[in-house]
């Protein structure tokens, strides 16, 4: 049996190749980036509404995800989105009153999303059995929905709906705080 002596360069190349092939997951982890949690604030109105299952508001948000991603990680773009999720939705009304014009008038609430590249609405948050007590704000529990394909867009449409248990007699001036985050990979 003949033993051949390896050069230093050959040995380093062989060890590097071995490390890369045996720890492919480690290399993939190096090529990932967590997009920091972002909060979008948007104002909208809920008009006076009778009881029943109603669409309460819809609004568009212009958000260039590609630019947002490049501002946080210049080597990435919207095409590198591996995962994207809504992490929180809170709605506040600035002009509620205790005579029924508040979020306790809603038995349930739902938030849905579509984007300029996927027009199908997806439910991202939903609240059932909302208490019939005075409330100037409403936290809608988010669903674990993968939105990466929706987030490869520049315009998002949100639809806010719910079951109105008692009539809203005045226009509620609202602000929604929508939090999201994601992961990018090369």
Q: In a structure prediction context, what are the per-residue pLDDT tens digits for the chain, which is 186 residues long? A: 333 343 444 334 433 444 444 444 444 444 688 888 999 999 999 999 999 999 999 999 999 888 888 888 888 999 999 999 999 999 999 999 999 999 999 999 999 999 999 999 999 999 999 999 999 999 999 999 999 999 999 999 999 999 999 999 999 999 999 999 999 998
Q: How many CA atoms lie within 13 A of 182 on its CB side?
A: 30
SS3 86: strand
Separation CA 65–CA 177 (nearest Å): 17
Separation CA 175–CA 45 (nearest Å): 8
Separation CA 179–CA 131 (nearest Å): 24
Q: What DSSP character marks residue 47? A: -
| 47 in Cβ contact with 30 (< 8 Å) | no
The domain spans of the chain are: 32-185
The structure's pTM equals: 0.81
Q: Which two tokens stand for residue 112?
A: 């849905």
Architecture of the domain defined by 32-185: Sandwich (2.60)
Separation CA 12–CA 55 (nearest Å): 65
Of 135, 119, 113, whose CA–CA distance to 180 is shortest? 113
Separation CA 70–CA 78 (nearest Å): 8
| 35 in Cβ contact with 183 (< 8 Å) | yes
**24 contacts: CB under 8 Å, gap ≥ 6:** none
Separation CA 130–CA 138 (nearest Å): 9
């Amino acid at each position: 049996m003949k033993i051949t002596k390896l050069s230093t360069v050959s040995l380093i190349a062989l060890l590097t190749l071995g490390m890369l092939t045996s720890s492919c997951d480690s290399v993939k982890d190096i090529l990932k980036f967590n997009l920091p949690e972002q909060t979008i604030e948007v104002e909208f109105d809920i008009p006076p509404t009778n009881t029943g299952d109603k669409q309460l508001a819809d609004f568009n948000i212009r958000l260039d995800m590609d630019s947002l991603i490049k501002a946080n990680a210049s080597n990435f773009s919207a095409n590198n989105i591996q995962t994207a999720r809504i992490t929180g939705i809170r709605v506040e009304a600035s002009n509620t009153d205790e005579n029924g014009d508040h979020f306790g008038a809603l038995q349930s609430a739902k938030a849905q999303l579509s984007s300029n590249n996927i027009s199908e609405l997806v439910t991202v948050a939903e609240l059932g059995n909302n208490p019939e007590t005075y409330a100037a704000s409403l936290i809608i529990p988010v669903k674990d929905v993968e939105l990466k394909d929706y987030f490869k867009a520049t315009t998002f449409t949100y639809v806010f709906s719910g079951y109105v248990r008692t009539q809203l007699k005045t226009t509620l001036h609202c602000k929604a705080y929508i939090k999201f985050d994601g992961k990018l990979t090369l």
